[in-house]
Structure 1
Amino acid sequence: MTNNTKILYDEKVKSLAEKYESQGFHVLTELKTDELPFDLGNYQPDLIAIKDGSGLVIEVKNSLKRLSVDRLQALAEEVSTHPGWHFLLVTLEDIEAKSLPGTSEQFPSWQELTDRFIQAHKLIENDEIEPAFIFMWSIFEGALRKRAVDVSIPIERFPVIGLLRHLYSFGELSISQFDLAQACFEVWNRLAHGYIENLNLPVVHNFDNLVRELLGKWTVELAISQLSS
């Protein structure tokens, strides 16, 4: 870690600790493995924040590059077995959020996402293609982040391209789904930044089918996992 990187890292850890403390959390940093509330092997988190019987185990990274999400997923799964506890990965490249990481960030329920999808689909049927596409993207991105949380892949705060790549690497998206999502992201990105984009109707319909497919698949898988737990 270079001096500049170390400075950024230290500033991020200090800032997070201060923010959690200001919200009434008891924050511990520079913990040794035997000081953790439960056994995580040799893992040492950057900080833990505890409040009202629940807590966050927090890992801080400067960059998404060379990040071993496989290792962190195993940690996230272990932490989630302890009621009220959640593993949180924070990086300097996270999406912007006004809320405190891991506390008040909320995603719509799967039913809410499905209801929104129906609304977006009706816009397509009414040939309101551009608003339908923009609305559909927000539903898709929400579903990606919610799926990451459900399967304990701690990437829900990643920029969308990193989110897509990691979900693909974990087998949550097929190569064809990943390619379509990337193409749609490029279109959405241009629209979101004010550029004129002539939407290709077949692409919009393919994206509509992709979102429908993933919502159905992930909703069913969640229901099955809840029944078996």
Structure 2
Amino acid sequence: MASSLRSPDGDAERHFMETLRTRYEQAGFAVQVEPAPDQLPDFMGGYRSDAVARTHGQNVAIDVRRGPGPSEPPLPAIRRLFDGHPDWRLHVAFVASDPLRAITVPRADPARIRAHAAEIQALSAAGHRQPAFIMAWSLLEAALRAYSEDADGDHSPGTVVQALATKGVIEPETERALRSLIALRNRIVHGDLAADPRSDDVALVLAAVDAALSEEPSHS
């Protein structure tokens, strides 16, 4: 089982886990930290992840570790547990000696981002605009990471929009329109259940995602 969060010196891991939890919740996932064995699928056997994140048929087992290298249980054995379970994936996050430099979000493949965009469009069309809107913003950051090799690190919605505009990925009018939606996005993330994005708002963010993915990746 993963043991980093349960170790006596796990303060850095617990802090890092809270950062991950916030990221996943902002993307529309329900996160459960330190799940009990009976709350995990049978195929995991004796392995216990540090957390699980679930949303709309997507399930993520989160394993937080101090750093790459020998560990118990070994990662190859854990990864094999997920073979044949397409509705589950493993996210291994390494906490560096400086937590601010920890590896948090891997760069997503553009094809996978587009697949998620299609799911978000369907979610919005079904009337679930709040989760669709938040997940669309998550994809916008994922698109920035896919577009540019120097996009690692934490990003607020404003810095994501600014980075895409500075690189010429989105037009000035799109930048202004996106900035006007940031307050709405933040209200939803922080619990304003009355905040009601329009379908056009979701479509605008997804159009920016598509624009970013249409660019040639930068490897500077």
**Higher Rg:** 1
Query: Quick check: which one's helix share is greater?
Result: 1
Compute the TM-score of the two structures, normalised by the length of structure 1. Answer: 0.46
TM-score, normalization by structure 2: 0.47
Higher relative CO (Cα under 8 Å, sequence separation at least 6) belongs to 2
